[in-house]
Amino acid sequence: MIERYTLPAMGGLWTEQAKYERWLAVEMAATEAQAEMGYIPVDVPEKIKEKAVFDVARIEEIEAEVHHDVLAFLTNLSESTGPEGRFVHHGMTSSDVVDTALSIGMQDAADILIKDVEILLPVLKAQAIKYKDTVTIGRTHGIHAEPTTFGLKILLWYFEMERNLERLKDAREIVSVGKFSGAVGTYSNIDPEVERLACAKLGLSPSPASNQVIQRDRHAQYMSTLAIVGATIEKISTEIRHLQRTEVLEVEEPFAVGQKGSSAMPHKRNPIITERLTGMARLMRGFATAALEDVALWHERDISHSSVERVIVPDATILLDYMLQKLTGVIKGLQVYPENMQDNLDKSQGLVFSQRVLLTLIGKGLSREKAYLLVQRNAMASWKEKRSFKDLLLNDDEVKGCLSEQEIDSCFEVARYLENIDKIFARVDG
């Protein structure tokens, strides 16, 4: 991922230095387990630990000759470990190291993402409660529907992000496995008990069965989860972008002092952060697609997945970390304009109360078909003539024959539409 979108903690997980540190941790866990089981001398792990060092530049130099990154790493390691180094990688295959270390990296990345969501959730909750009673127009198909509140919009985002938190925890769990089962996964040269002990040292569970690799449905679930979280961020961003349009202007994302919106037009205040997040969500879906295509490998394995994962796992986790932290800033600093919400609500001449009129007429004994005809007739006239829907109803003899002026007035009370908002918000904490 480019530096522009890389935050330090997450970016630090995916450096070459960090990768080889994980590889060394995996090799040491296996060596310690082998010693505990009596397969190698008991004092070997401590001796290796005291001496073992690696150098990224040296590994790259060796790899340029041998064209195998794990062998290059092991060769470099042997240059510092002395005679005891012959016990490193004992009975193992490359994927035991690479896949198990990747699981650790993905687990650590999930921890950062989970923390990001845990920081975002109370920000969403606070804003939802703040605007719980701020009336705005609900839109379906982009057209005025019925009144809602801006707080309820945000509450939906809150609950969705709560679900995403659980998804991330599940994704972390599904990749928290390691393998030390050797070539094609049959434990032909390594004891399954070594795998159990080594995984426990690394905070992982042993894969219940593997061939030469940990099965990639796990990685696909993980990456798909990241894409779903990205889709939620896109959903929120798209709503903010629509509401920031000049013709609507019900909210704006934060606009900093000194910020400039356009190189040509000094008046511009563009939703650049939410536009950026929308674009990034497209990348997240692409990463998930690539991960799904990695599930099907030839026989006991090939390495068509390897080149893909070197790119998509770091890039997806780095990007989602950035997206979540940016979204938190947007929600926290969101500019909300209740007066514009009221103005927009009024623009449709009261048409948004049509369902209440319909139901009131039905309650007076009219058939649904007849009531719908009466309401729609006046609604269409209101659209066409830009006249008050309520005034048209008050001057419609057929409607007046069924409803009193007071009954018509009561249909246009916003509070009646929102009387259950508190009940929805009562679900926030249980």
Check whether residue 167 and residue 227 sit in a common domain.
yes
- Rounded to whole angstroms, the Cα distance separating 320 from 38 reads 44
- pLDDT at residue 268 in the model: 77
Task: Give me the tens of pLDDT residue by residue for the chain, a chain 430 residues long.
Answer: 889 999 999 999 999 999 999 999 999 999 999 999 999 999 999 999 999 999 999 999 999 999 999 999 999 999 999 999 999 999 999 999 999 999 999 999 999 999 999 999 999 999 999 999 999 999 999 999 999 999 999 999 999 999 999 999 999 999 999 999 999 999 999 999 999 999 999 999 999 999 999 999 999 999 999 999 999 999 999 999 999 999 999 999 998 777 777 677 777 788 999 999 999 999 999 999 999 999 999 999 999 899 999 999 999 999 999 999 999 999 999 999 999 999 999 999 999 999 999 999 999 999 999 999 999 999 999 999 999 999 999 999 999 999 999 999 999 999 888 989 999 999 987 6
- pLDDT at residue 198 in the model: 97
- pLDDT at residue 417 in the model: 86
- pLDDT at residue 430 in the model: 62
CB-side neighbour CA atoms (13 Å) of 62: 17
Check whether residue 335 and residue 219 sit in a common domain.
yes
Instruction: Show which of 340, 366, 399 is a domain's final residue.
Output: 340
Report how far apart, in Å, the C-alpha atoms of 37 and of each of 43, 299, 301, 417 are: 12, 32, 29, 70
Q: pTM for the complete prediction? A: 0.94
Count of domains observed in the chain:
2
- pLDDT at residue 45 in the model: 94
Helices and strands counted in the chain (H then E): 19, 6
| Residue 367, in any domain of the structure | yes
Report how far apart, in Å, the C-alpha atoms of 263 and of each of 11, 244, 270, 271, 279 are: 32, 20, 12, 15, 21
| Residue 107, in any domain of the structure | yes
Q: Which CATH number is 401's domain given?
A: 1.10.40.30
| Residue 124, in any domain of the structure | yes
| Residue 84, in any domain of the structure | no
Q: Which CATH number is 117's domain given?
A: 1.20.200.10
Give me the catalytic one of 68, 89, 94, 141: 141
H/E stretch holding 374? helix 368-385
| Residue 309, in any domain of the structure | yes
Check whether residue 206 and residue 286 sit in a common domain.
yes
Give me the catalytic one of 68, 188, 262, 307: 262
Type of residue at 81: T
180 contacts 30 by C-beta, under 8 angstroms? yes
Which residue's entry shows tokens 């009221």?
A: 342
Domain range for 368? 351-411
- Annotation marks residue 141 as catalytic: yes
Which residue's entry shows tokens 């080594």?
A: 198
Strand pairing class (205-206; 177-178) = parallel
Check whether residue 228 and residue 163 sit in a common domain.
yes
Check whether residue 316 and residue 364 sit in a common domain.
no
Q: What is the 3-state secondary structure (H, E, C) of 237-291?
A: HHHHHHHHCCCCCCEECCCCCCCCCCCCCCCCCCCHHHHHHHHHHHHHHHHHHHH
Check whether residue 316 and residue 377 sit in a common domain.
no
| Residue 131, in any domain of the structure | yes
Check whether residue 373 and residue 255 sit in a common domain.
no
Check whether residue 228 and residue 362 sit in a common domain.
no
CA 320 to chain centroid, in Å, comes to 6
Q: Which residues on neighbouring strands pair with residue 135, listed in sequence order?
A: 149
